[in-house]
């Protein structure tokens, strides 16, 4: 039912083409109930009479659409009647043909059509499509607008259900032209003098907070679609250029153990130590910083609610490696920290570095990994290829990527990012009075939750009677999220959400061992829309196994770096009068 909420505000757009459209006909879905089954066919109409068709068929259309559109990321699964339309596209792959009757466009022309006002154009395999009319009935709601003015391929790669013949056939009806040869082959030329010239290709769905170094988060609307976040949209937090590392020449140096310096190759790391896999959430210390900026400006990237993601990680336990190379009581008696140094360096040659307490590193329950796989594949370049540290339950800044050195030491890392960043202070501390030495480095993170659906400023339809609310919740230090409370009236009344621990609701993951709840929980709830409410202030707050709870407002936890932002998350949406209420 939630997908219908996108329909109301876009109904007129569905039947009014953009002035820039080149199509002489439009495609309108005709839905009916046939022998108890929902059927669908796509009919072409001329430019006249569309509004009359809409008015005549709307009640039945909306009822049928409600049954058809079920589940986020679903596709138009339809049953063709015996008079099934014979589609022009006979292949699952749409071939680009430079025919005289189709206009040729440049990428620049396509990118201008990136909104409902200007028309929504997309490209697929070199062809250009005007999908403005389809937006209103897209089963995935307005997520399709993420591709507006650009290519569909990277978005469809996230949702394999699109790779079906009937989806491509529907798309073919919106074809308006093809890209010119230069645009089809166009790619940005790299500047060899730029330290960022060898950066990896990133998914266009990512919302960029900084290009150099690259920092980006996925749109909140798709963050909770998957329990395991696809690697391509897992949030990216880089401090320096991404290094290019030859896996054959790679060496991991370990210092501070009785045998002197150890140099370990990637193949040795994989062959000498058992492979261990965990599911763990990583979160940037600056997640939700934008809400602190609304109280008072802070220094740092303006992260929204999506600087957090969940993945499976595989590699060797750090504990196993240290024990193998001589770690024992005599080392533990004089060492307190384990330092990590990355292969990413600034123009002076200084590497990114961080450290964690020694107890975390050698604890059998700590699950600290020297990871070389993410989601069952080699680490992507943005996530630390070929080896990174994964310290579950700890702030993302300590999960050092492109790991080059480990040092067992009696001192914390002297890195800037350990000593003069990623620390929290009183709201009364400013940049004139701050003393970074006076505060401990952030390690375990506090309880956190946020609403991913609905989005701020959108509307819900009163006729649906309920609003579906979705989001995530997570706590640091291995503390399990045990409850998420939801309110739609700003916190006056509360409802308990249903928690999800896998991508398959019928097969939830078993409860984690106490103190080892490394992964987030996704949650969802349908809440009745209060009678006569004109606006909903939706609020979420989570509770962990130690009964830690989120603070209700941002101001008391504000700090000059904008870290540890975990107040109740609030989203305001309008309540619109639905079609059922109209006379």
Q: What are the backbone angles phi and psi of residue 68, rounded to the nearest 5°?
A: -80, -40
pLDDT band at residue 160 under the 50/70/90 scheme: low
Q: What CATH number belongs to 216-420?
A: 3.90.420.10
**3, 6, 17, 138: which is the annotated catalytic residue?**
138
Find, among 211, 165, 71, 186, the residue nearest to 123 by Cα: 186
CA distance 373 to 270: 11
Find, among 199, 216, 196, 200, the residue nearest to 208 by Cα: 216
In eight-state DSSP terms, residue 353 is E
**174, 250, 385, 422: which is the annotated catalytic residue?**
422
What's the CATH fold of domain 447-576?
A: Immunoglobulin-like (2.60.40)
Q: Among positive and negative, which fits the CA dihedral 395, 401, 406, 409?
A: negative
Q: What is the pLDDT of residues 161-171, one digit of tens each?
A: 787 888 899 99
How far CA 28 is from CA of 135, 156, 397, in Å, comes to 12, 23, 51
- Contact (Cβ atoms closer than 8 angstroms) between residue 356 and residue 417: no
**40, 155, 284, 289: which is the annotated catalytic residue?**
284
| Residues 6+ positions from 394 with CB-CB distance below 8 Å | 356, 360, 443, 444, 445, 476, 477
What's the CATH fold of domain 104-190?
A: Flavocytochrome B2; Chain A, domain 1 (3.10.120)
- Contact (Cβ atoms closer than 8 angstroms) between residue 569 and residue 471: yes
In eight-state DSSP terms, residue 394 is B
Is 138 marked active-site?
yes
Could you tell me which residues are beta bridge partners of residue 33? 38
Region 189-198: mean pLDDT is 68
Is 43 marked active-site?
no
Q: What is the pLDDT of residues 119-153, one digit of tens each?
A: 999 999 899 999 999 998 887 777 888 899 988 88
Find, among 330, 562, 243, the residue nearest to 425 by Cα: 562
Flag whether pLDDT at 289 surpasses 90.
Answer: yes
**237, 288, 317, 462: which is the annotated catalytic residue?**
237
Is 237 marked active-site?
yes
Find, among 388, 335, 341, the residue nearest to 358 by Cα: 335
**62, 113, 162, 319: which is the annotated catalytic residue?**
162
- Contact (Cβ atoms closer than 8 angstroms) between residue 552 and residue 567: yes
Flag whether pLDDT at 394 surpasses 50.
Answer: yes
User: What was the pLDDT predicted at 583?
Assistant: 37
pLDDT band at residue 200 under the 50/70/90 scheme: very high
Range name among 37-46, 337-346, 415-424, 471-480 with the lowest pLDDT average:
37-46
Is 422 marked active-site?
yes
- Contact (Cβ atoms closer than 8 angstroms) between residue 438 and residue 426: no
Please list, residue by residue across 374-408, b when 16 or more beta carbons sit within 10 angstroms of its beta carbon and e when fewer do: bbeeebbbbbbbbbbbbbbbbbbbbbbbbbbbbbb
Q: What is the pLDDT of residues 490-544, one digit of tens each?
A: 999 999 999 999 887 777 778 899 999 999 999 999 999 999 899 999 999 999 9
Cβ count within 10 A of residue 63: 13
Flag whether pLDDT at 406 surpasses 80.
Answer: yes
Please list, residue by residue across 291-311, b when 16 or more beta carbons sit within 10 angstroms of its beta carbon and e when fewer do: bbbebeebebbebbbbbbbbb
User: What was the pLDDT predicted at 192?
Assistant: 59
DSSP codes of every residue in 193-224: TSTTTTPPP--TTSEEEETTTTEEE--HHHHT
Could you tell me which residues are beta bridge partners of residue 164? none
Token reading at 325: 């190379």
The CA-based angle 474-549-427, given to 5 degrees, is 100
Token reading at 513: 């061992």
Mean pLDDT of the chain: 83
Domain boundaries along the sequence of the chain? 104-190, 216-420, 447-576
Domains 216-420 and 447-576 share a fold: no
The pTM of the full predicted model, rounded to 2 decimals, is 0.78
């Amino acid at each position: 039912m939630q997908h219908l909420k996108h329909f109301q505000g876009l109904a007129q757009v569905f039947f009014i083409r953009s002035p820039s459209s080149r199509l002489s006909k439009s495609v309108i879905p005709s839905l009916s109930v046939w022998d108890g089954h929902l059927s669908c066919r796509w009919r072409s109409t001329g430019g006249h009479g569309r509004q009359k068709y809409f008015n005549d068929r709307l009640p039945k259309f909306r009822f049928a659409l409600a049954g058809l559109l079920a589940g986020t990321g679903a596709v138009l699964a339809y049953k063709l009647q015996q008079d099934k339309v014979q589609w022009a596209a006979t292949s699952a792959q749409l071939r680009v043909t430079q025919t005289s009757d189709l206009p040729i466009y440049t990428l620049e022309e396509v990118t201008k059509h990136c909104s409902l006002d200007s028309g929504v154009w997309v490209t697929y395999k070199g062809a250009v499509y005007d999908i403005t009319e389809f937006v209103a009935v897209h089963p995935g709601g307005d997520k399709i607008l993420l591709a507006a003015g650009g290519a569909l391929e990277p978005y469809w790669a996230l949702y394999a259900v699109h790779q079906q013949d009937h989806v491509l056939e529907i798309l073919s009806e919106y074809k308006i032209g093809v890209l010119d040869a230069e645009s089809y082959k166009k790619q940005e030329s790299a500047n060899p003098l730029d330290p960022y010239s060898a950066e990896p290709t990133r998914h266009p769905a990512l919302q960029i907070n900084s290009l150099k170094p690259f920092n980006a988060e996925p749109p909140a609307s798709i963050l909770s679609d998957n329990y395991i976040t696809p690697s391509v949209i897992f949030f990216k937090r880089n401090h320096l250029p991404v290094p290019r590392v030859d896996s054959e020449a790679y060496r991991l140096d370990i210092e501070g153990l009785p045998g002197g310096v150890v140099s370990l190759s990637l193949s040795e790391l994989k062959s000498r130590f058992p492979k261990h896999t965990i599911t763990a959430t990583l979160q940037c210390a600056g997640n939700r910083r934008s809400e602190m900026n609304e109280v008072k400006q802070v220094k740092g990237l303006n992260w929204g609610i999506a600087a957090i993601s969940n993945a499976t990680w595989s590699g060797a336990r750090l504990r196993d490696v240290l024990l193998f190379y001589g770690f024992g009581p005599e080392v533990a008696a004089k060492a307190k920290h384990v330092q990590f140094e990355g292969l990413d360096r600034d123009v002076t040659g200084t590497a990114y570095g961080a450290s964690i307490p020694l107890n975390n590193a050698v604890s059998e329950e700590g699950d600290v990994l020297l990871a070389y796989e993410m989601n069952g594949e080699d680490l992507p370049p943005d996530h630390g290829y070929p080896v990174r540290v994964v310290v579950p339950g700890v702030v993302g800044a300590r999960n050092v990527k492109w790991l080059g050195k480990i040092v067992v030491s009696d001192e914390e890392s002297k890195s800037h990012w350990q000593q003069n960043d990623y620390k929290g202070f009183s709201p009364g501390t400013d940049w004139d009075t701050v003393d970074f030495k006076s505060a401990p480095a952030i390690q375990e993170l506090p309880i956190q939750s946020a609403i991913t659906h609905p989005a701020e400023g959108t509307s819900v339809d009163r006729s649906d009677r309920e609003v579906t609310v979705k989001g995530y919740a997570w706590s640091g230090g291995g503390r399990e999220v045990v409850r998420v409370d939801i309110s739609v009236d700003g916190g006056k009344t509360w409802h308990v959400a249903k928690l999800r621990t896998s991508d398959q609701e019928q097969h939830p993951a078993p409860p984690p061992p106490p103190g080892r709840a490394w992964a987030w929980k996704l949650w969802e709830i349908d809440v009745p829309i209060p009678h006569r409410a004109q606006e909903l202030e939706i609020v979420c707050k989570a509770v962990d196994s130690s009964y830690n709870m989120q603070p209700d407002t941002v101001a008391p936890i504000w700090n000059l770096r904008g870290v540890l932002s975990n107040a109740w998350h609030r989203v305001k949406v309008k309540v619109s009068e639905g079609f059922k209420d109209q006379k």
